[in-house]
Amino acid sequence: MTAICVANNKGGVGKTTTVVNLAAGLARQGHTVLVVDADGQGNATYALTGRIHPVPSLYDVLVDKTTIQQVLWTTNEDNVWLVPGDARLQNIDVELAARAGREWKLAKALAGQTFDYIVIDTPPSLGVLTQNALAAAHGVVVPISLTEFSLIGMDKLLATIDDLGQELDIPDLRLLGILVTFFEDNKLGRETYGILEKKFEEQLFATVVPKNVKLEEAHRRNESILAFAPNGPAGQAYAELAREVKKRAGAEQTPYSRRRAGAR
């Protein structure tokens, strides 16, 4: 089992879109996939089920003694299951502030799961939820839209992820890659991509996700782009991303045993 955290503290970069469609792409390769919606907005939950802020959810797993099995849902995608998120997660930093080992709650809850892949959606912050996602993950995918502000913040984001890895004593956490989303093939888009490529060439995924209205239409229908428009440019991009992520991530047979000391 391999756990993947999709993270960026900047909003509007396509984290949830990437989580939903990466999960669908891995499932179409014959794998079982669990999506964990760790964002209080609950967008991944809506995209995969059409439900809004269901209870119980991941909140109950992190705050109470609810198990993953008690909140596990099927989704509109074959071979994709979901741990839903709801609005109560927006207050989780306060709820867990005084609790020992608060960063390890998700890792402990996921221990023993038998899915081939776990894909974790995160909020646009580096608070307790994202820390839990990083502590539970083997690798990080960082989506980025080609805006000046996104480029400016990338160095700081990668440094912060590295710092969190050291702080939580998870040196095996690694960056799987930076994913360009909402790409527009015009002069500005090409120039901005060139800057990103020059600076982060080895860390960039070869896959580039184009800006495409079909992605939003798919969300509205509670489908992945691979179900809604698999042969379009966005569908092909996310299918390729799943292959690329699988190749970079490899396979982990015992994902949490090496962190058991921290997860107690």
Checking if the pLDDT of 48 tops 80, the result is: yes
H or E element, residue 83: strand 80-83
Whether 178 maps to a domain, the answer reads yes
Whether 264 maps to a domain, the answer reads no
104-116 pLDDT, tens digit per residue, is 999 999 999 999 9
Which residues lie closer than 8 Å to 219 by C-beta, 6 or more apart? 17, 20, 43, 46, 47
CATH of the domain at 33: 3.40.50.300
Most confident of 97-111, 134-148, 217-231: 217-231
Q: What is the mean pLDDT of the chain?
A: 92
pTM of the entire predicted model? 0.94
Checking if the pLDDT of 232 tops 80, the result is: yes
Whether 176 maps to a domain, the answer reads yes
Start-to-end CA distance of the chain, whole Å, equals 20
Calculate mean pLDDT across residues 218-245: 97
- Residue 155 Cα distances to 16, 134, 162, angstroms: 22, 18, 11
Whether 200 maps to a domain, the answer reads yes
Which residues lie closer than 8 Å to 3 by C-beta, 6 or more apart? 110, 117, 118, 119, 120, 136, 137, 138, 139, 252, 255
CA distance linking residue 143 with residue 178, whole number of Å: 6
> Do 5 and 139 form a contact (C-beta atoms < 8 A)?
yes
Lowest mean pLDDT among 54-58, 199-203, 232-236: 199-203
Whether 221 maps to a domain, the answer reads yes
Structural domain of 154 = 2-259
What is the pLDDT at residue 264?
Answer: 47
What is the pLDDT at residue 164?
Answer: 82
CA distance linking residue 241 with residue 26, whole number of Å: 9
Q: How confident is the model at residue 251 (pLDDT cuts 50, 70, 90)?
A: low
Whether 64 maps to a domain, the answer reads yes
What is the pLDDT at residue 260?
Answer: 46
Residue 67, both tokens: 């198990």
Checking if the pLDDT of 64 tops 60, the result is: yes
Q: Is 84 strand, coil or helix? A: coil
Residue 113, both tokens: 């799961």
Structural domain tally of the chain? 1
CA distance linking residue 35 with residue 133, whole number of Å: 12
Share of the chain above pLDDT 70, in %: 95
Checking if the pLDDT of 91 tops 50, the result is: yes
Q: How confident is the model at residue 171 (pLDDT cuts 50, 70, 90)?
A: confident
